[in-house]
Chains A and B, each alone.
Chain A
Amino acid sequence: MKTILTGDGRTLSITPQTGFFKQNTALAMENKKIFTDAGIIAVDILGSVGAGKTTLAGALVAYLKGQKRLAAIAGDLTTEIDAQRIRAQGAEVLQINTDKGCHLDANMIKNAMDCLNLSNLDIVLIENVGNLICPSGYQLGAHHRMVVISVTEGPYQVVKHPHIFQDVSVVVINKIDLADVMEVDPQKLIADIHTIRPGIPVILTNGRTGQGIAELATALKLDK
């Protein structure tokens, strides 16, 4: 910080220049290092309320549990429903209740990490609060961010929320079995995603049947 006294001696210019998000970003980098040093791949799962984040996290657990040691951190405002659903698939799950908060932040993940035995884990899935806006601004320290959209959200979800895709590594289009009945063209959604992030992997899934889950695990490098 610099303080400059002007020529007339009557005014001061103070330049704090500390970013409001700096602390969160720094903490996210620390979290990432802790995950990496423990040999863990962490995935931040973003998406709207009802897109299928919990179902997909559960499906990934069911698919990978024979070969990998998994835990999940589930973010939700008030309930423990998500944690119970993922736990039922065979993973240790911590529920973070944000109360009224619309996103998880790096400090919440830090606190959750303190409750997990990291040396016994290969993968940590972090289910963010259902929201296509705010979570994007708060890095958590995951190695991958994945966005889940579903055809039931209609044909404009991607173009209406371009910024959620800014730093994700994989996009999932879920409930693909309902595309026809919803009159949503998945190819158009893929084209929209590729306008914003050319060449990024887009996986079509049906979280209920497990369709696309193997491909998703490979895209996130979870099955290696």
Chain B
Amino acid sequence: MHETAIAQSIIDTVMTHADKAGAKHVDKVEIEIGELTFLGIDQIRFWIENQIAGTVAEKAEWIFHSVPGGIRCPACQYEGDIKTAETEDHFRLPVFACPECGQANIEITQGRDAWIKAIHVEID
């Protein structure tokens, strides 16, 4: 259900910046979504497309990039992606531990947020 709120925040941010820039059209919006958020990209797209008819962003292209989860290990200083494990039931599970030294008390450094990377507007 957070997709509706995030979609509304995206629209509000895009409209504010488009208005401030005196945009005639919004061409393209690039959005980054962390994989450790609980946000579904298809749902955000659906809610945005529901709301933008009749606005300067009506014909915009909405591009979503998925940002992988990143961790840092305070013990061995590993910094990089979260690994996954396949279980006997063929579930793929994220492993929130250091892939180098096995330490479970890791710091999550990336993937818990979502933001607008760029709004491309036409001003003339």
Contacts and interface: CB of A to CB of B under 8 A. Distances in A.
B102 A22 contact: no
30 contacts: A9-B124, A10-B124, A11-B120, A11-B121, A16-B17, A17-B116, A17-B117, A18-B13, A19-B113, A19-B115, A20-B6, A21-B113, A22-B113, A25-B113, A133-B38, A134-B38, A137-B36, A137-B37, A159-B91, A163-B38, A165-B96, A166-B94, A195-B85, A195-B93, A196-B93, A196-B96, A197-B104, A198-B95, A198-B97, A198-B104
A179 B123 CA distance: 65
Nearest to B71: A166
B67 to A, nearest CB: 11
B76 interface: no
A102 B4 CA distance: 14
Given A134-B38, A159-B91, 17 more contacts: A10-B123, A11-B122, A11-B123, A14-B21, A14-B120, A15-B117, A16-B13, A21-B37, A21-B112, A167-B96, A192-B87, A195-B95, A196-B93, A196-B96, A197-B104, A198-B97, A199-B104
Interface of B: 1-2, 6, 9, 13, 17, 21, 23, 27, 36-38, 69, 85, 87, 89, 91, 93-97, 102, 104-105, 108, 112-124
Contacts of A13: 118-120
A19 B104 contact: no
Contact of B96 (A9, A102, A133, A197): A197
Q: How large is the interface on A (under 10, 10 to 19, 20 to 34, 35 or more residues)?
A: 35 or more
Contacts of A10: 122-124
A212 interface: no
B5 to A, nearest CB: 9
Interface of A: 3, 9-22, 25, 102, 133-134, 136-137, 159, 162-163, 165-167, 169, 192, 195-200
A204 to B, nearest CB: 19
